[in-house]
Amino acid sequence: MALARSPLQGQPQEDGGELVQMALDVAGSLDPREVIARILERGTHAVRADRGTLSSLVDDQVVVEATYGRGGELTWVGQRYALDYFEGQPLVKQAIESLQPAFGGRLALDKAAPEFRQALANVRHVAVLPLVHRGKAIGMLVFSRYEEKPFTGDDRAALTLLSAISGLALRNARLYEEGEAARQRADETAARLRAAVDAAEDVASQVRLDQVLGRLLERAAASVGADGTSLARLDGGEMVIESTPTGELVGTRWPLMPKVLAGVATGRAVELSAAEYTGAPPGMELVVQPYQRFLVAPLVVGGETIGLLAMGRKADEPFDPAAVQALQQFSTLGALLLRNARLIAQARDAEQAKSEFMSVAVHELRAPLTVTGGYLAMALEGDFGELPKPLRHVLETAQRKTEEAKALAAELLTVARLEGKALTPNVKPVSVADAVREALARARPRAELVRANVQMEPGDEVMVLADEALVGKILDNLLNNALTYANHPPTIQVGASREGEQVAVSVADDGIGISPQDQGRIFGRFTRGTDPLVAEKPGSGLGLYLSRGLAEQMGGSLQLQSSHPGKGSTFVLRLPAAVS
């Protein structure tokens, strides 16, 4: 350690004020080693000693920290002795017991440790100063003179002050050091917690229950340094393994040991040695055999233990208490995630059941609609004889409504399939120009009816990777809307262009447009615009919802690019481009 040379070095100190200055100087550092060095260096010169040695008293041990020779050399010793070793030194004993400086001739040579005998042989006079904090000796300073110059009354006053200040300075430095260590421990804990939070986010981003569990196990094992891990749910007095990294043992039942049960009751992690782990069911002893240490943490949500996280370590080393604490945070987060994943899974099951119900219901609906539609068509074609005019009119309306109901049923069926994840697009390269041309051909009768001007822009001759039928459905919806939502014969422009990895197909009209409030809603399920003209037109509010879902199912998107009330709207369908 580099020591600043004391201004006092070499010039014996005479003045008490300077001693105070020196004491303040000593107290000016918070690094224990630096404080010790300063005490020794400045103290030795201040009391005109030839050597100063500082020892700490820790429990029942004396630790000789450092010794300083007047020539300027500071040596770190670090030697530990049992306190009774100094019993043979009456001067030391007196100082420590009385908590007052003790002065005398040389220390007892024959009782000194061999390594000190040489140094002690030169000593003529010794001052032993206890370093006192709160009425207890926490260390001592020994100053020795090699010349025949006893410590005087003045020296004693100075030494008493030095001892008081040194005791304080050393204590403060130690406290500070402890504080730093505590802070560091806190930082480490914070880092572990951050790891747990990262893990939570990571785990949370996994939607499937088995993935959630797998991730949780991986992260938890890494955080405590475990070799094996499993997650179990509690079922009566047993635990049932729900997840292991390899998937083996899942579904096996294990008894709960009393020690684990006690931990579960307090919500704390329990550590077990191999000898204590006696819970393997018959035939499964081999599973736990490689492990020397076990750590079992309860998964607690809202005060209820829903499961256990078990860790095994092959080395016979106890788990680090900080890691165990982190694991506890971990399992709390894990438990929450686990429960959420369960809720999501349940919700998904319910949603799936709903979709399945819907598809069954729609199927049931379609059959009678087809029959009714057939009879209506036959009647209108005269198969049942000449129809009176008013009846024909009614039947025509009925036929139109039946067709609408059939279209709605078809739409609902697609929605049910999409939501029930039962719709798998049949993806292959599709020519956008062909798909648009076919959709325009299908829309022609309606376009003629409303005297629309439909233009297909030349655009890029591009191919997409998509399901031809689904692309057709989306284009039909967009064209249908463009033809429907206009209060004058509309002009519709369809274009296609390559945009990097995607192809954008745009359908622009000059119709009624969509108000800013409606723009955020129209892609919702069963949602229609609030414009009065919309209410006049038939529609289910499913077209855009379904079209967007289909586009996404094919790895694409559907967006309203722009819309101005009274001026028209542009929708853009984006699909993955086929590599050309």
- Which residue is at the shortest CB distance from ligand ADP? 529
Site string for ligand ADP, 481-520 (x = CB under 6 A): xx--x-----------------------x-xxxx---x--
Backbone angles phi and psi of 484, in degrees to 5? -80, -45
Closest separation in Å from C-beta 545 to ligand ADP: 6
Map the footprint of ligand ADP across residues 349-368, applying CB under 6 A: none
Residue (86 or 485) nearer to ligand ADP, CB: 485
Comparison of 289 and 487: residue with beta carbon closer to ligand ADP? 487
For the CB of residue 452, give the shortest distance to ligand ADP in the complex, in Å.
12
Find the part of the chain contacting ligand ADP (CB under 6 A) among 205-213, 466-474, 478-486, 572-580.
478-486
Angle at 373 between CA 371 and CA 379, to 5 degrees: 105
Nearer to ligand ADP, 496 or 546 (CB): 546
Whichever of 57 and 546 has its CB closer to ligand ADP, that residue is: 546
Q: Give the contacts of 324 (CB within 8 A, at least 6 positions apart).
A: 224, 269, 271, 295, 297
Tell me how crowded residue 235 is: count the other CB atoms within 10 A of its CB: 11
- Least separation in angstroms between residue 412's CB and ligand ADP is 12
To ligand ADP, the closest distance from the beta carbon of 360 in angstroms equals 23
* CB of 111 or CB of 521, closer to ligand ADP: 521
Q: Which amino acid is at 351?
A: E
Nearer to ligand ADP, 299 or 522 (CB): 522
The first and second tokens of residue 388, run together, are: 């009176």
| 528 is a contact residue toward ligand ADP (CB under 6 A) | yes
Give the largest Cα separation in the chain, rounded: 147
Of 54, 89, 49, nearest to 71 by C-alpha is: 49
Minimum CB separation of residue 542 from ligand ADP in Å reads 6
Q: Is 252 in the site for ligand ADP (CB under 6 A)?
A: no
User: How many whole angstroms separate alpha carbon 480 and alpha carbon 485?
Assistant: 9
Residue 569 contacts ligand ADP per CB under 6 A: yes
Distance CA 562, CA 558 (A): 12
Query: Measured between alpha carbons, how far is residue 444 from residues 147, 273, 450, 455 in Å?
Result: 122, 80, 10, 12
Per-residue mark of binding to ligand ADP, 533-562 (x: CB under 6 A):
-x----xxxxxxx-----------------
Helix (H) or strand (E) holding 169, with range, is helix 153-204
Pairwise CA distance, residues 144 & 151, whole Å: 9
Provide the minimum distance between the beta carbon of 562 and ligand ADP in the complex, in angstroms, as a whole number. 11
Shortest distance, CB of residue 453 to ligand ADP, whole angstroms? 15
Long-range contacts of 558-565 (CB under 8 A, 24+ apart): 558/474, 558/523, 560/514, 560/519, 560/522, 560/523, 561/506, 563/513, 563/514, 563/519, 564/513, 565/512, 565/513, 565/514, 565/515
473 binds ligand ADP (CB under 6 A): no
Contacts to ligand ADP by CB under 6 A:
477, 481-482, 485, 509, 511-514, 518, 522, 528-529, 534, 539-545, 569
